[in-house]
Amino acid sequence: SAVISQKPSRDICQRGTSLTIQCQVDSQVTMMFWYRQQPGQSLTLIATANQGSEATYESGFVIDKFPISRPNLTFSTLTVSNMSPEDSSIYLCSVDTLGRTEAFFGQGTRLTVV
Amino acid sequence: GQSLEQPSEVTAVEGAIVQINCTYQTSGFYGLSWYQQHDGGAPTFLSYNALDGLEETGRFSSFLSRSDSYGYLLLQELQMKDSASYFCAVRARPSGGYQKVTFGIGTKLQVIP
């Protein structure tokens, strides 16, 4: 299994500012994913981050708004830029290892933009 | 693209059995997963089916029919603590992309005494 430390766990931010969310894994993993989840809703994949290459973004998400870093095999960051109230959501990082069928999740970052 | 369908809500009595169905459409299919999420918590893995048939893990079982693009999660001997949201999720590699997991809308299960 993989243990994921995600921080901050929650934050309240002013509109127009940016927040960087960190995701630290206790073992080396190939693929890291960033999801967004509105309360009571499903998880929507924002992007896939592989070490050594640029993140791959899903339809509706762009790098300027959600820049991602993946400097090594145990760490990634997601920045929510120029925030608006519509960005209020729970952001989750997830890790995956080739050959495994289970995805592991961090505890999430509950973001409120005011 | 990819799509999944599952019921939004299910209510069942403690001690009973409940089945949550999931149908999907995708290319590059690898398998179907199920995740449980309690309010305020992170999703946790329950099961994974890559081949047709039934997989049993304690009180939970999961079934897959690849030809029908259909699966279900079966929960037996329901307990109050089983009240949570249950997500089916497709693991797939759409052409030209990375392998990724796409989630359904989630089924909110309420277990009542």
d(CA A35, CA A21): 12
> In sequence order, which residues have a C-beta less than 8 Å from that of residue A89 and are 6 or more positions away?
A36, A37, A38, A39, A111
Nearest to B48 among A43, A44, A101 (CB): A101
pLDDT, residue A98, reads 59
Q: Which residue type does B27 have?
A: S
Question: With an 8 Å Cβ cutoff, are B100 and A42 in contact?
Answer: no
Structure tokens at A104: 């592991």
Element housing B53 (H / E): strand B53-57
Are residues A42 and B104, on separate chains, in Cβ contact within 8 Å? yes
In B, minimum Cα distance to A103 occurs at B45
Closest CA to B87 of B12, B18, B6, B29: B6
In chain A the first and final C-alpha atoms are separated, in Å, by 37
Residues 6 or more apart in contact with residue A59 via CB below 8 angstroms = none
Q: Between A101 and B87, where is the model more confident?
A: B87
Contact A101 B101 (CB under 8 A): no
pLDDT 10s digits, B48-104: 999 999 999 899 999 999 999 999 999 999 999 999 999 999 998 877 677 888 999
User: pLDDT tens, A18-32?
Assistant: 999 999 999 988 889
